[in-house]
Amino acid sequence: MNRTMLEQRDQIARHNEHFLQEQTVAKQVFDNITSGGHLNNPNLRYFMSPLAVFNGDVMVAATTPAGNLMVLLGDFTGHGLPAAIGAMPLATTFYGMVGKGYSMADILSEINGKLKNLLPVGLFCCASMVEMNFRKSTVRIWNGGLPAAYIYRLGGSVEQVKSTHLPLGVVGNKEFKADAALYSLEEGER
């Protein structure tokens, strides 16, 4: 019985080591796919602290050919690897379309359609997407299911941008709404 127990312990240890190696490789691939943009942009400050190696939190940012900065912050339902799976098609679609100069509405619609077709019912992405136009001093904000975003105005006032849309991947593109709110900003507002 003692020998059997030791063999089982060693087998569990080998399985655990193999699992950790697989998770490390998968995490590296996941990170390469989801972090290929401009998260180091000087106009962008963020802090993300995941509770697990794989999770449903995603942040992607890229600059359009016209010089606008687009940022998408998302939170997939669930936890662990199932929640993280949706981040890969989201990120590849986002980066590919922003780089080609597609509009925010087109990008959101394409991501929505992909997630709706790929993910099982009940798995979706609450998200906010922001497009900053530095030449016109405007920001366009779309919020689908996340808590309100905030615009900090000069003088200390705060303007809420509440969610007015369904999350990504909940409804098909016929019902999906990609209209975003447009705000003018003064220098120093955030």
Backbone φ and ψ of 12, nearest 5°:
-65, -40
Q: Compute the half-sphere exposure of residue 158: CA atoms within 13 Å on the CB side of its CA.
A: 5
Which pair of tokens denotes residue 94? 């986002």
Which pair of tokens denotes residue 11? 């087998």
The residues that bridge with 129 in the sheet, in sequence order, are 72, 142
* Three-state DSSP state, 144: strand
pTM of the predicted model, to two decimals? 0.81
pLDDT tens, residue order, the chain (190 aa): 889 888 999 898 888 887 777 666 666 666 655 565 566 666 766 666 555 556 678 889 999 999 999 999 999 987 777 777 888 899 999 999 999 999 999 999 999 999 999 999 989 999 999 999 999 999 999 999 999 999 999 999 999 999 999 999 999 999 999 999 999 999 999 8
User: How much is the pLDDT for 16?
Assistant: 82
User: How much is the pLDDT for 87?
Assistant: 86
User: How much is the pLDDT for 143?
Assistant: 98
User: How much is the pLDDT for 83?
Assistant: 72
**Whole-number Cα distances in Å, 23 to 26, 81, 119, 153, 161:** 5, 10, 21, 43, 37
User: How much is the pLDDT for 25?
Assistant: 64
User: How much is the pLDDT for 41?
Assistant: 65
User: How much is the pLDDT for 15?
Assistant: 83
